[in-house]
Chain A
Amino acid sequence: MSSGSEGVRVWWLFDVDDVLYDATLLKRMARENAVVAMIEAGLPADFEVLLRKVNKVVEERGEDYTRHFDDAISALGLRVDARVIAAGVIAYHDTKRAFLRPLPKVFKTLLTLRDRGYGLGLSSPGSPVKEWEKVIRLGLHHFFERAWVGQPDPERHRSALEELGVNPANCIYVTARPEGVDSASEFGMKTVRVRRGKSASKDSATAPDIEVVSVWEIAGRAESLLEG
């Protein structure tokens, strides 16, 4: 059943991180490998100390900040050496490429939903170029007919609902972020919470319509979600 109660097409909007691929695992592995690479390039720092400092900078300045390693090294009172930074950046990107793979059965789930006639869209608050880079590298870009990327949660949901012209109850947002669940719920959208990644143990203020551990579980529960 791809139609909602009003006979209009139902849309599934997918967040990217920890929904389509294991973002938390990728970022942690990439940061750890970058720290190892910087130490191997000669930086006289302890692995745990430097990793903690990098994580702190990421927490304070956000993931899209471009000078995480520089700031972490400066905070340790050390000279910022371009060679060391480059070693870290290379290790980070090499790891990223190795780990940027769709989670199990993501392809099958998207194919199943599309074959049932649902509309598939992307909806992610991350930096637009970075989000598209991920989706293209994952090889999933052809699945999504529409995309809303880059704006924060409320604006993005508002744009999506206006552009699609659908009742919010016919829009399902799939996300691993508890704040994503809250924001979509405020617009009246249905929500699927993927309990995965760095926010897995945090609860949203509003209960999601369904919770899953992996995105492949939603194909089997789509109908019951729309009937509920």
Chain B
Amino acid sequence: MRGEETRGEILEQPALMRRALSILSVPARYAAEALASREFVYSIGVGPTLHPASLLGRILGKVGGPGAIEMDAEDFSNWLAERPKRPAAVIFSETGEEREALLAIRELRKRDPAAPVISVLGSPGSTLHRASDYGLVFTRGPGRMGLFSPMSVAGLLLAAEVARLAGMPARAHSLRSLLEAAPEQAAEALGRAESVADEAAELIARSRLLFVVSTNGVKPAAQEFSYRLTMMSGIMCDVASPGEFLATKHRLLSAGTPVLVLEPERNPEVKMAAERYGAIVIGVGPAGPHVPLGVNPPGEIAPLVYAPALLLLALKVTLILGIDPDASVRVM
């Protein structure tokens, strides 16, 4: 049956999260020590690994840790500050061999030879692994659905350990507890999406272009969904926060363009703005309305919970278009 292998990988995501939690907890503890003493962290990704990097970049400052920004490895050399203040880097990479990621390390160390580099990897023994001070390795290797879930777990484990080292043990404990609950919530959301996402998939499949509006908390999951949807189905996606959408992008909509809104109940004005120009709004959130996930995860773990359900939605769209994602050329 078409798409069965891809479906299997999506359904496996909650189990991957549990495995990552068990495998990466100890290395994350050691690696976090290198981060906690630094002033600024560059959370770097390459292609789809920018999405878990984005999750870490957003959470680090909120747990008492150093300031942080997420960056694409391709941009890093060009945009790194001339004199970064006691920087560190966390680099997410599936193969550990991407030229941009290796260049990023070289550039960072050129500016500050003492800057520690932590890599979150899908392949042990790679060049990036050897060049890093610490490696958090999840050895499943890149599949069709990549490593968003385990890499996001790695990032959140790092954040929890940084919180502990920053003298916020309660925050660390709470983040850790949320992480442990995430696989179950993700499984529940997946189960719901399996039975209710068909109508949403039909609406998305009608257009070659999809706007995705996501609150900042869930944005890494929105980015992951958009990337996979484009790769599998060829539908082009434009991801924006509600603020960005309301400031500019809703004015670019044409009648009939689908707009996928994540957590629509948090930003009701997005629906009104999108419908002003005739767009079709599809809501995915705890209560739907199109894809009710039945769970309302806190912001820290929301991307982990949303991502598998959204990947399933992307698969359904792809199948409606008559494309077999199992047969498509692997991009990674």
Contact = CB atoms under 8 A, between A and B. Distances in A.
Interface of A: 32-33, 36, 43-49, 51, 74-81
B216 interface: yes
A77 B244 contact: no
A33 B248 CA distance: 8
Contacts of A81: 79
16 contacts: A36-B244, A36-B247, A44-B72, A44-B75, A45-B69, A46-B241, A74-B81, A75-B67, A77-B40, A77-B67, A77-B69, A77-B80, A77-B84, A78-B81, A79-B78, A79-B80
B81 A79 contact: yes
Contacts of A36: 244, 247-248
A48 B84 CA distance: 22
Contacts of B240: 47
A48 B79 contact: no
B247 A77 contact: no
Contacts of A76: 69
A47 B239 CA distance: 11
Contacts of B42: 77
B269 to A, nearest CB: 15
B71 interface: yes
Q: Size class of B's contact patch?
A: 20 to 34
Contact of B244 (A43, A48, A75, A78): A48
Contacts of A48: 216, 241, 243-244
Nearest to A84: B79
A78 B69 contact: yes
Given A44-B72, A46-B216, A47-B240, 4 more contacts: A44-B75, A78-B79, A78-B80, A79-B80
B38 to A, nearest CB: 11
A33 B82 CA distance: 27
Interface string B231-250: 00000000011011001100
A77 B75 contact: no
B277 to A, nearest CB: 18
A51 B244 CA distance: 10
A32 B241 contact: no
A4 B78 CA distance: 66
A133 B81 CA distance: 35
Interface string B60-74: 000000010111100
Nearest to B68: A77
Contact of B247 (A32, A43, A74): A32
Nearest to A76: B69
Contact of A51 (B80, B81, B82, B243): B243
- Nearest first, the 7 closest Cβ-Cβ pairs linking A and B are A47-B244, A44-B75, A32-B247, A48-B241, A77-B40, A78-B79, A76-B69
Nearest to B240: A47
A47 B243 contact: yes
A75 B67 CA distance: 9
Contacts of B135: none
Nearest to B219: A46
Contacts of A47: 240-241, 243-244, 247
Contacts of A79: 78-82
Interface string B87-116: 100000000000000000000000000000
A43 B243 contact: no
Given A44-B71, A44-B75, A45-B69, A77 B81 contact: yes
A44 B81 CA distance: 12
Contact of A49 (B40, B69, B72): B69
Interface in B6-50: 40, 42
Q: Which of B80, B82, B243 has the most CB of A within 10 A?
A: B243
A10 to B, nearest CB: 43
Contacts of B248: 32-33, 36
Contacts of A77: 40, 42, 67, 69, 80-81, 84-85, 87
Q: Which of B84, B243, B247 has the most CB of A within 10 A?
A: B247
Contacts of B58: 49
Contacts of A78: 69, 79-81
Nearest to A29: B247
A46 B222 CA distance: 14
A51 B248 CA distance: 14
Q: Which of A32, A77, A78 has the most CB of B within 10 A?
A: A77
A48 B75 CA distance: 19
A35 to B, nearest CB: 8
A34 to B, nearest CB: 11
A33 B247 contact: yes
